[in-house]
Amino acid sequence: MIFQIDFQAGKPVYLQLADQIRYAAASGRLREGDPLPALRPLAEELRVNRNTIAKAYSELEAQGIIETVPGKGFFLKGTATPFSQQERNRLLIAEIDEAVVMAHHLQIDRAAFLKTVEERADHFELKPAQASNDNPRR
């Protein structure tokens, strides 16, 4: 799996990397148990400092997306989220509100908005209900 850094993007390198990993996990390109590249090799490949990689990984660890195994490295974590149900709802509603407000200001009506949301949910293959107690790759 290849990560790409755009030094002209005006976005911090560690956030670009963290976002690419988050999106890869959401889209299934990275799955539970997959190893992430170690800090030093990836730092050399992307020509940044290994602490920059570590900072990106630290962000993802805080969000419960990856975990570290001493002596072995970082791995994609299973589905347990560190947040309570209430906190998860709060976080999601804040993000959805941002999208709705943006739709309003971009003159995108309700029907077009909901249609686009469904398309993107399908694009990412967002899990249907009650599939989460499966254990697909163990």
Partner DNA sequence: ATTACTGTCCTATGACACTAGGACAGTGGA
Partner DNA sequence: TCCACTGTCCTAGTGTCATAGGACAGTAAT
Residue 45 binds which of DNA, its own copies, none (CB < 5-8 A, kind-dependent): none
CB 82 within 8 A of CB 64: yes
Could you tell me the smallest distance in angstroms from the CB atom of residue 26 to DNA? 21
- 87 Cα distance to chain centroid: 17
Nearer to its own copies, 43 or 103 (CB): 103
Is 13 a binder of DNA (CB under 7 A)? yes
CA distance 108 to 117: 12
Is 49 a binder of DNA (CB under 7 A)? yes
CA distance 71 to 51: 17
Using CB under 7 A, which of 58, 78, 100, 117 touches DNA? 58
Is 10 a binder of DNA (CB under 7 A)? yes
> Quick one: how many helices (H) and strands (E) in the chain?
5, 2
- The C-alpha angle 30, 35, 36, rounded to 5 degrees, equals 80
Using CB under 7 A, which of 21, 25, 52, 65 touches DNA? 52
Is 114 a binder of its own copies (CB under 8 A)? yes
C-alpha torsion 137→85→91→15, nearest 10:
-30
Could you tell me the smallest distance in angstroms from the CB atom of residue 108 to DNA? 27
Site residues (vs its own copies, CB under 8 A): 22-23, 25-26, 63-65, 79, 81, 83, 88-89, 91-93, 95-114, 116-118, 120-121, 123-124, 126-132
